[in-house]
Amino acid sequence: MVSGNDAAVCLAEFIGGSVDEFATMMNEKASTLGLTSSHFVTPHGLDQDEHYTTAYELAKIANYALKNETFAKIVKTSNYTININGKSKSLHNTNELLGYLDGVYGVKTGFTNGANRCLVTSCKRGNLDIICVVLGCDTKKDRTLDSINLINYTFNNFSIVNIRDIINEKFEIWNTENPPCFNINKGKSSHLELYLNETQIPFDSIAINNSLLNSIDTPISFLANYEAPLPENTVIGKMNVNINDSTYFTIEILNKNLVERKNFLYYLKFFMSTIGTGSFWSQV
């Protein structure tokens, strides 16, 4: 709610044993979160040459932190009274957008001489949930107006699309209404039961600029010719998920069924089943 640098140091010493050890823990955690442009020296963020991050990675940190219910509850609290050594103290959240801008539920203001005025904002309207990061503003007014403009722009120009449903629908049409043909040399069958490797779909939904909603495309490529036997779960093709001609990710297409190779018994049964009808001789 407010900046308590002294409290941050106390917590760091209690949890890590020292500020330095806690900074080591912070950097290890940053590594597990995939942060490559952040490095921490202090628990409170006061200016240090080797203490830095980026707007994007601050957004990733906030997104991760908001999954903690206690943290999420604290950053959306406007006012709270605490007791220190028997004395009460009222805390007022320094986030000027909390309770002012529709949908805002966090996260934190910041200021140092090196960083100037900063604000990380979480905001949700409908099914669109965003994090906005503004850094290096000269005044509180600047960071407030910049944040409001960015947030309103996002909600006015982006929509949530269920990309998983689109992928499955496109695949179903390709697989059933326009089924692909396969040639499996010496295979007992050329029929393949196909499925998508849905574990490769990184998310169910994605926020897309409204101007690009009609640019979602899922081109499919596959190999048609194989040699038997063809094991089950063989990758036979792929689906690219493209938005505005850029590929966001690729999903493998595999077969569920094993296609066995024709053997002597197969040809013998074929011969026995056709010789009686004369079809074998007529083919000869």
* pLDDT tens-digit map of 38-67: 999 999 999 999 999 999 999 999 999 999
Distance CA 123, CA 68 (A): 16
Provide mean pLDDT across the span 200-206. 95
* pLDDT tens-digit map of 24-45: 999 999 999 999 999 999 999 9
Domain topology for 180-264: Peptidoglycan synthesis regulatory factor (PBP3), Domain 2 (2.60.410)
* pLDDT tens-digit map of 81-103: 999 899 999 999 999 999 999 99
Provide mean pLDDT across the span 6-19. 96
250 pLDDT higher than 90: yes
Provide mean pLDDT across the span 227-240. 96
- Domain positions in the chain: 1-53, 55-157, 180-264
CA-based R_g, the chain, Å: 30
In sign, the C-alpha dihedral spanning 29, 31, 36, 41 is: positive
CA dihedral of residues 13, 16, 21, 26 (deg, nearest 10): -110
Mean pLDDT across the chain, nearest whole number? Answer: 93
* pLDDT tens-digit map of 156-184: 999 999 999 999 999 999 999 888 999 99
Q: What is the pLDDT of residue 118?
A: 97
CATH topology of 55-157 equal to that of 180-264? Answer: no
Q: What is the pLDDT of residue 177?
A: 87
More confident residue, 284 or 21: 21
Domain topology for 55-157: Beta-lactamase (3.40.710)
Distance CA 118, CA 144 (A): 9
Q: What is the pLDDT of residue 265?
A: 62
